[in-house]
């Protein structure tokens, strides 16, 4: 049976898991806390790929501090793994160390693991409790769950807009709608993503770098550009730094494709429909197959609207400035609605002041939420 103490320590494990970001991807950012008699023994979080999982880190930290772990309770944000991959099975190590009880938040969606770690622990006589803070854990591991269950990344659409929903003036000028604090915060979300996707319209209009400009340790995400006709200029800032991948059509000029390859871009030729448009779901599946669990969209109105109308956006990240622009560029081009029951409804997850601006995080409203 779950107790208030179980909830408290699982929250601590979730907090520890956040320390794994952004370097643990594509592995989930798991946290583990070892507790005996209501007191913490040690804690740990997922290391870089190939490094220790959270449970092993916590055990090693305890042993290093000469604190025995036999009989302790392990609080873990994801079901302990039972298979040998690049790292040993965590469930086996928990058994070997004599852990007395394991409390975990959510079953691992990986078919190699789902339920098997739980079963292995129970067969060894360890008391197991699951489902503690499950919703929070699913949210913390959203990208990993999306990869395992949908074979596409968790898609976060980011925009900066005025109070009246404009992302640029009518003449296209957009620098800067929001202040420096909001822009710095947006770079943290770039660092939390393994990929950033934009369209050729944004490349031609803004010449963005699409990199992370923060202090500290992070990995610059791969940049993906939807560019059917291979129009990205060779001198574009986006071609510098981390890998840049262009989605082009078979109709793209061969000399342009060759020049972009020479400039260091990777070219992926994708099929188009009769209108010359890519299948966006197929693009997401392709990106997912390249180790991207969390994808940040930094797209213009047309592409943002296309992803939204296709139902392929999981989260909105909106930086709203206390400004009214009037005529200008919209956040997203979408089909005209004639009835209110046709309107896409979202729910606020958080509303946070960032400098003079506000950061809004929203997720799609489910049917049962009305």
Please pick, among 55, 57, 79, 315, the residue that the annotation labels catalytic. 55
CA dist., res. 239 & res. 234, Å (int):
8
Tell me, letter by letter, the H, E, C secondary structure of 197-233: EEEHHHHHHHCCCCCCCCCCCCCCCEEEEECCCCCCC
Task: Write the DSSP assignment of 322-342 as a string of letters.
Answer: S----SEEES---PPPSSGGG
CA dist., res. 178 & res. 167, Å (int):
10
Residue from 190, 191, 197 nearest 268 by CA:
197
Tokens (6 digits) for 45: 């979080």
- Which residues are bridge partners to 247 per DSSP? 226, 268
The beta-carbon contacts of 343-347 under 8 Å, at least 24 apart in sequence, are 344/308, 346/316
Active site residue 55: yes
Provide the annotated active-site residues.
55
């Amino acid at each position: 049976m779950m107790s208030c103490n179980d909830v408290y320590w699982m929250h601590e494990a979730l907090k520890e898991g956040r320390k794994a970001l952004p370097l643990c991807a594509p592995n989930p950012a798991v946290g583990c806390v070892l507790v005996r008699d209501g007191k913490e023994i040690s804690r740990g979080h997922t290391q870089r790929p190939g490094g220790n999982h959270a449970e092993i880190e916590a055990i090693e930290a305890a042993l290093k501090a000469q604190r025995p772990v036999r009989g302790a309770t392990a609080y873990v944000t994801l079901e302990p793994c039972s298979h040998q991959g690049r790292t040993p099975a965590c469930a086996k190590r928990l058994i070997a160390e004599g852990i007395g009880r394991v409390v975990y938040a959510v079953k691992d969606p990986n078919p190699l693991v789902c339920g098997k770690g739980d079963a292995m622990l129970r067969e060894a006589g360890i008391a197991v409790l699951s489902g503690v803070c499950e919703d929070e854990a699913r949210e913390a591991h959203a990208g990993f769950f999306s990869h395992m269950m949908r074979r596409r990344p968790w898609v976060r659409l980011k925009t900066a807009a005025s109070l009246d929903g404009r992302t640029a003036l009518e003449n296209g000028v957009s620098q800067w709608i929001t202040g420096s604090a909001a822009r710095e915060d947006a770079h943290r979300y770039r660092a939390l993503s393994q990929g950033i996707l934009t369209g050729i319209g944004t490349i031609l209009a803004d010449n963005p770098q699409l990199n992370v400009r923060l202090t500290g340790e992070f990995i610059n995400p791969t940049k993906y550009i939807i560019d059917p006709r291979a129009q990205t200029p060779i001198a574009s800032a986006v071609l510098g730094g981390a890998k840049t991948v262009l989605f082009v059509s078979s109709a793209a000029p061969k000399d342009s494709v060759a020049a972009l390859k020479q400039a260091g871009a990777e070219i992926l030729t994708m099929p188009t429909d009769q209108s010359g448009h890519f299948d966006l779901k197929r693009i997401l599946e392709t990106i997912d197959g390249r180790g991207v669990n969390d994808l940040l969209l930094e797209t213009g109105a047309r592409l943002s609207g296309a992803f939204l109308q296709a139902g392929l956006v999981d989260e909105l990240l909106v930086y709203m400035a206390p400004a009214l622009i009037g005529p200008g560029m919209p956040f997203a081009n979408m089909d005209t609605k004639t009835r209110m029951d046709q309107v896409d409804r979202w729910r606020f997850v958080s509303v946070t002041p960032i400098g003079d601006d506000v950061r809004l995080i929203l997720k799609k409203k489910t049917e049962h939420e009305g």
